[in-house]
Amino acid sequence: MKQKDNVDLICDIAELAGLFERSSSLEDFLKTATSIIAWHMKAAVCSIYLYDENNDDLVLRATQGLETAAVGQVRLKLGEGITGLALKELRPICEGRGSRNSSFKYIPGILEEKFEAFLAVPILRGLSKVGVLVVQDTQPHYFDEHDVKALRAIAGQLATTIENANLLMSVHAEAVVPPSAPAPLPRFIKGTGISSGVACGKATVTNEIDLEALRAAEGQMAPRTLQDFQRALQETENQLTTLQNALDEELSDVASLIFSAHLLMLKDSSFTGEIEDQINQGVSPAKAISQVLHKYIKLFAKSANPRLREKVLDLKDLGHRLLLNVMAHDGDQADYGNRLIVARELLPSELLKLAVQRAAGLVLLSGGVTSHIAILARSLQIPGVVVDVAPSQLDALEDRELLIDAGQGTLYIEPDSDIRETYAPLLEAEPDARPEVADQTRSADGTRVYLLANINLLSDVSRALQMKAEGVGLYRSELPFIVRDNFPSEEEQFRIYHRLVQRMAGRPVTLRTLDIGGDKMLSYASPQHEANPFLGLRAIRYSLRNRDTFEQQLRAMLRAGAAAPIRIMFPLISSLDDYLHACEVVQGCQLALQREGMPHSAQPELGVMIELPSAVELIDELCQAADFICIGTNDLVQYLLAVDRTNEKIADLYTPYHPAVLRALYRVIDAAERHGIEVSICGDAATDAQMIPFLIGCGLRTFSVDPAEIPEVQSIIQRCNIEKARKRARRALRMSRISEIEAFWRGD
């Protein structure tokens, strides 16, 4: 029988800190700790796995009960086996019968099948991962809740000690854990898609553009001269100007002077002069370019100014172009044509540059993706996936053949012939193949429903018109602000809004005022260092605190409304006060425009985005005050459920199928109907196959979605019977559990 004197156990383990001082090394300390814990818990096995930040995995570092040869050899990915899962989900996992659990990982000869009972507890320091403490036993159901408590206490104690031990050892410059080569990359990674489409091609790892490797290639070529460098300089300038012109034409709203940093560097005589000086002193052109660029990259990277730091990728990009041009005559090689870009993180302006340089797809690391990268990737129609790969593994992807399926969120590394064959029809499909869309949308029983488009870039308008969108339900005005280095002027904004209104030719256009903050930061003006940016100075709050910016934007919108009716909508309204305050600013702008004799919209409809629980509570008052409302479910779900919409670790908790979300949606739609004002929905829930019939059943008749989604949404609505949808919505609204709603949607 096991003695469960856990109080004693905790006291003993508290002495482990002293034990470390008596140990000759961290390994020695860990080994002794595992023996003490195994002894006190009367467990057959006790092991300590430590988290390797570089490889983002766990390494078995000490064990009592398993083969010693396994130490340093067994590596588990986060989520792999019960041990990996405990660290991934940051919770203790207690299994009575490990052999029946699909997460149980057997490693023959090491983690023997004979151990049935399994208890794994993550070792954490605050939120940072330190490792996992595991006990195992042959007797099924051997560990109980007292053991879980005790092991958690020990893990808490060990975390501090291990961290201290690591610090001490680093002071003595001793390698605590022998450096290990990055874990080999798997052939397949399941991630998250940020757009749609499939792409296949060789990888370019952008954040790591290796100027050295490029320069090294020079050794195998005929020697280059000063004239070659000057030719490369001219060629680079021509290429960049051509790219800029193409951008100005296709993406005039966001692309203004996007290559300006590149072009300025080329014109900076101290930069080019330094390269020329080195060449004159006998340094080869490629080496000179690479040396001078490295110097500038270092300078920029160290700068205290975040805007300069952001230019590092521009510099690498420029270096890449210059080096390729100095070595080759084919300018096209400098483009990313048909290559898949792999990046740790990406700024929206960088994505635009890559798009115009014909990148075929994107692979990003989790943590480096803001919602605007996803929005831009969708608008630029670049397939993109986010994967959980350790930063140290990125290099290994350079030049490897990749295939991504953005819809599924999957990445194949060097896909075999079976995978290629499966994807061949999709890869060869005409990008412009247009699905059939009806001019008007009606439900199966003939009720009229309106499908509007969400527009992020002006280039989305042609897709919206192709898909027969009946108007713009949401124009996200922030992209031109986010992509540039400073605020677009009133005039520039006017041109963008005017163009949008003109191209929609009389169809309703809803312009949303600036929604920055949260994860959509402006490098030049966002509030810096907020502890909780999603609860901070975001959207309308930012606009109301920055009156000049707000007024300039409103004036530009009102002026664009001179020729055709526009609607203005405010994001993240939390109170009637917010809304009325925003309306006063609009009126002030109208008066000023009138005084100046500037043509403008005299009666724009003003609307509220319902994205906050407080707005749901005040829905009657808001419906009385506003001309229309629009439900932003992306944020409403986030704020109702307190689940960060950008945090993949809790993505499973982010669901519109939550009874609180369904009831809030019904309350809002019902209130709008009672007050006789228009209500629409513009978040991603508007494209969800289960949510569409529910929303129709609640009485919603206007959906605003990404243009590419219109055919699918239309066909779901066409199959929907209003009376049936109403009954199903009523049933769903009576449900109290997420699982019940999910089972109901599935038809169980």
Active-site residue numbers?
A: 372, 682
Stretch that binds ligand PEP, among 125-133, 280-288, 627-635, 736-744 (CB under 6 A): 627-635
Least distance to ligand PEP, CB of residue 323, Å = 39
Binding segment for ligand PEP (CB under 6 A), chosen from 63-71, 284-292, 633-641, 737-745, is: 633-641
Residue 179 exposed, middle or buried by CB count within 10 Å (0-12, 13-18, 19+):
exposed
Q: Is the dihedral of CA 489, 491, 497, 500 positive or negative?
A: negative
Contact range with Mg ion by CB under 5 A, out of 20-28, 41-49, 366-374, 625-633: 625-633
**Which is nearest to 562 in space by CA: 596, 604, 530, 522?**
604
Q: For the segment 420-479, give every residue that binds Mg ion (CB under 5 A).
A: none
Output the six-digit token pair for 51.
């988290």
With binding defined as CB under 6 A, does residue 476 bind ligand PEP?
yes
Across 194-322, the runs of DSSP E, i.e. the strands, are: 198-205
Q: In what order do the strands lie in the sheet with 128-137?
A: 75-77, 57-64, 45-52, 128-137, 117-125, 93-95
Specify the stretch interacting with ligand PEP by CB under 6 A; choose among 176-184, 208-216, 540-548, 630-638. Answer: 630-638
Q: Which stretch binds ligand PEP (CB under 6 A): 39-47, 207-215, 626-634, 648-656?
A: 626-634
| Residue 634 CB, nearest approach to ligand PEP (Å) | 3
DSSP 8-state secondary structure symbol assigned to residue 340: E
Work out whether the CA dihedral 39, 45, 46, 47 comes out positive or negative: positive
Q: Counting contacts by CB under 6 A, is residue 633 touching ligand PEP?
A: yes
Among 52, 56, 228, 515, binds ligand PEP (CB under 6 A): 515
Using rule CB under 6 A, residue 611 touches ligand PEP: yes
By CB under 6 A, name the one of 122, 131, 361, 632 that touches ligand PEP. 632
| Residue 682 binding ligand PEP, by CB under 6 A | yes
Q: How would you class 544 by CB atoms within 10 Å of its CB: exposed for 0-12, middle for 13-18, buried for 19 or more?
A: middle
Nearer to ligand PEP, 206 or 543 (CB): 543
**Residue 235 interacts with, from ligand PEP, Mg ion, none (CB under 5-8 Å by kind):** none
Least CB distance from residue 518 to Mg ion, whole Å?
8
| Cα 648 from Cα 300, distance rounded (Å) | 31
C-beta closer to Mg ion: residue 83 or 633 = 633
Compute the least distance from the CB of residue 619 to ligand PEP, in Å.
Answer: 16
What is the distance between the alpha carbons of residues 22 and 28, in angstroms, rounded to a whole number?
A: 9
Number of residues that bind Mg ion (CB under 5 A): 2
Please state, in angstroms and rounded to a whole number, the distance separating the CA atoms of residues 266 and 512: 38
Taking the complex as a whole, the smallest distance from the CB of residue 539 to Mg ion amounts, in Å, to 7
| Residue in 314, 578, 635, 688 binding ligand PEP, rule: CB under 6 A | 635
Distance CA 493, CA 486 (A): 13
Count the site residues for ligand PEP by CB under 6 A.
10
Place of tokens 């994107």: 362
Helices 145-171 and 26-41: angle between axes, nearest 10 degrees: 170
Asked if 635 touches Mg ion (CB under 5 A), the answer is yes
Q: How far is the CB of 516 from ligand PEP (least distance, A)?
A: 10
- The least CB distance from residue 432 to ligand PEP, in Å, is 27
Which C-beta is closer to Mg ion: that of 26 or that of 482?
Answer: 482
For residue 681, the cross-strand partners are 631, 703
Residues 6+ apart with CB under 8 A from 1: none
Residue 147: contacted member of Mg ion, ligand PEP, none (CB under 5 to 8 Å, by partner type): none
Order of strands across the sheet that contains 188-190: 188-190, 410-413, 401-405, 198-205, 340-343, 361-365, 384-387, 192-193
Distances (CA, A) of 132 to 90, 272, 324, 555: 10, 53, 47, 58
Residue 634 touching ligand PEP (CB under 6 A): yes
Rule CB under 5 A: say whether 632 interacts with Mg ion.
yes
**Residue number with CB closer to Mg ion (311 or 372):** 372
Nearer to ligand PEP, 402 or 516 (CB): 516
DSSP-H helix ranges across 456-603: 460-466, 479-483, 490-503, 540-545, 547-560, 576-596
CB 373 to ligand PEP: min, Å: 13
> Hey, CA dihedral for 37, 42, 45, 51, is it positive or negative?
negative
> Which residues are at the interface with ligand PEP (CB under 6 A)?
474, 476, 515, 611, 632-635, 682-683
> Which residues are at the interface with Mg ion (CB under 5 A)?
632, 635
